[in-house]
Amino acid sequence: MCNLFKKIPHNIEIIACPGNHDASHIAEPQPPFYKEFASALYEIPNLTIVSNPSMINIHASEDFEGFNVLMYHGYSFDYYVANVSAVRNQGGYDRADLIMKHLLQRRHLAPTYTSTPYIPKKEDPLIIEKLPDFFATGHIHKCSISSYKNITLICGSCWQSKTSFQEKVGHHPEPARVPIVNLKTRAIKILRF
C-alpha cells in the first residue's frame, strides 16, 4: 500500500483511516495506524492518517468553509446487511447507499448494540453529531455513489480480487475502482484500473 501511495503526485492530498484488516484493534473507534507497524506511511508527505471514524474538513479557505467529510471504514455494515430487511431485500452488500442512509437517519455509525465491537467511553464517539457534506466508507469492497439529503455518499472499492471468504459471506467486490469528485460541481467519475 505504501508503494502505491508514493506514486500519487505530491500535489494530491491523501487521507487514510484504518479498517478491520489493518494493524490496529478492531473495536471502534480505531486509532490511526500504529507507527510501529506503519512507519513508512508516516513518511509520505502528502498523506494524512486519521482515526476510524473521523470527521475531516477539506478545501477550506478564507472565503469558503470547506467540505466536511465523515470517514468511516464500515465494519458495522455486515450487521445491517444481515439484520435490516430493507437493506437485505434490496441488494444487501450491493447497496452500500442503503446502509449509509440507514446510519445517517439514526445519526449513528453503529446504532444497534453488537453491530460492531466498540470501546466503552463516557461519550459515544460513533454518534454523528454534525451531518457531513460527504460520507466516505469502504468495507464491502464495492464502489457505490449516491446522495441522501444533499450528502454525497461514497463507498470505495478495493485492490483485491474476490476471495472465497467474500463469496461465502455474499460480498461482490469490484476491485480497482476509484471515485473522483469534482468539488466545484460535486459530480463524480469512477476511474477503473
Kindly report, residue by residue over 79-133, the tens digit of the pLDDT.
999 999 999 999 999 999 999 999 999 999 999 999 999 988 999 999 999 999 9
In the block, which residue shows the cell 454523528?
Answer: 128
pTM, full prediction:
0.94
What domains, with CATH codes, occur in the chain? Answer: 52-192 (3.60.21.50)
Question: How crowded is residue 101: how many other Cβ atoms within 10 Å of its Cβ?
Answer: 20
Mean pLDDT of the chain: 94
Asked if 143 and 156 count as a contact pair (C-beta separation under 8 A), the reply is: yes
pLDDT digits (tens, 9 = 90+) for 2-16: 898 999 999 999 999
